[in-house]
Chains A and B, each alone.
Chain A
Amino acid sequence: MAVDEAILTARTEGKVPNTLRLYTWKPSAVSIGFFQSLHHEVDLEECRNRGVDVVRRITGGGAVFHDSDGEVTYSVVVAEADLKRITPHSTIQESYEALCKGLLEGLKELAIAAEFKPINDILVAGRKISGSAQTRRRGIILQHGTLLLKSDIRTMFRVLKVSKEKISDKLIKEVEERVTNIYRETGRELAVEEVIGALVKGFQRALGVKLKEGELSPYELSLAEEFKHRYASKEWLELR
């Protein structure tokens, strides 16, 4: 999360280009939305016991379980003006859709037909496979989100605060029916690299840009290092 914010900040200062970042989490982590109540949403003890990190995002939206080998996270940092040039739009809602097209095209690369569902979801045959969240600073958009490779609903329910009485096989079955993932849709366990490759192609096609592979700049790394302390602080985590 510190890196996403570092890219956003560096972009607002004109020091880096528009950026697509694709990554996984190590260890697994729960991220909660800016407005969410930590103690209502996350079972901190369960997270501690399982070695799962907990982090508050600068973006709104819901809690996400970032399974270290079960999902890919994307983040896009792009100037509003640039995105508008590529895909004319006027509202925040429309900008979600414009950026989520990258995911739709990426899924198409993997022969998965998906659709965008406002506000921030991507569905495959009615089942959620991805959720996104967005914020803006000085004319620059940061949109990030998760794309499920597989679903571990049982662990997700343990680390998030779903009342333990409510966690039944029936409920897990119901939720499994409402979500899906890449392994299930393709019928095989793809390497993360293959998914990332598909997403790169997808974003290039959706946004009509040619992406150039690169590393974080020393400036971004130093910002990330600085922001890391805030993300790790009790004040930030317990902000709400």
Chain B
Amino acid sequence: MRVEAEHKVAGGKLVRVELEVEEGVIKRIKITGDFFLYPEEAVFKLEEALKGVRASSELEKLIEHELSKQGAELLGASPADIATAINKALTSIKP
């Protein structure tokens, strides 16, 4: 099923996630919003890395790890903000 969630970052930027979820597992994810990420292409690899993941408190670390692996820099939002949006979307699904 498809779900989406928005998270307004302190400072005004927006992180939105659109997910395709099967039995609580992310099959596909799109992270959109008015934040900055350099290099920009890092977002595609991050989305790849989030496939197969469930809602958890480990999401933030996973995102942080993936971005640092790519040497990518996030501005206007943090890994925690992206994780918050994802967890919000995943937990919005009624069992």
Chain B contributes a number of interface residues (CB within 8 A of A) equal to 19
- Binary interface profile of B, 27-54, with partner A (CB < 8 Å = 1, else 0)? 0001111111111100100000000000
Residues of B contacting A92 in the complex (Cβ-Cβ under 8 angstroms): 36, 38, 73, 75
Instruction: Contact check, A136 vs B43: say whether CB atoms are below 8 A apart.
Output: no
Residues of A that sit less than 8 Å from B by CB: 33-37, 40, 58-63, 92-93, 119-120, 133-136, 240
User: Complex Cα distance A61/B39, Å?
Assistant: 13
Is B16 an interface position by the 8 A CB rule?
A: yes
Q: Let me know if A135 and B34 touch, CB within 8 A.
A: no
Given contacts A36-B34, A37-B16, A135-B40, 13 further A-B contacts (CB under 8 A): A35-B37, A37-B18, A40-B16, A59-B36, A59-B40, A63-B34, A92-B73, A119-B36, A119-B76, A120-B76, A134-B36, A136-B39, A240-B32
Q: If the complex has contacts A60-B40, A134-B36, are A37 and B30 also in contact, measured as CB distance less than 8 A?
A: yes
Contact B38 A35 (CB under 8 A): no
Q: How far is the CA of A240 from the CA of B17 in the complex (A)?
A: 11
Q: Mark B48-89, 1 if CB is under 8 A from A, else 0.
A: 000000000000000000000000010110000000000000
Q: Of A37, A58, A136, which contacts B32 at CB under 8 A?
A: A37
Please indicate the chain B residues that have their CB under 8 angstroms from the CB of A119 in the complex: 11, 36, 75-76
Of all chain A residues, the one with the shortest Cβ separation from B36 is A60
B30 touches A33 (CB 8 A): no
The docked-state distance in angstroms from the alpha carbon of A53 to that of B31 is 24
Could you tell me the distance in whole angstroms from the C-beta of B59 to the nearest C-beta in chain A? 18
Q: How far is the CA of A44 from the CA of B18 in the complex (A)?
A: 20
* Pairwise interchain contact A36-B38, C-beta atoms closer than 8 A: no
Q: Give the residue name and chain of the A residue nearest to B11 (CB).
A: A119
> B38 contacts which of A33, A37, A63, A135 (Cβ < 8 Å)?
A135
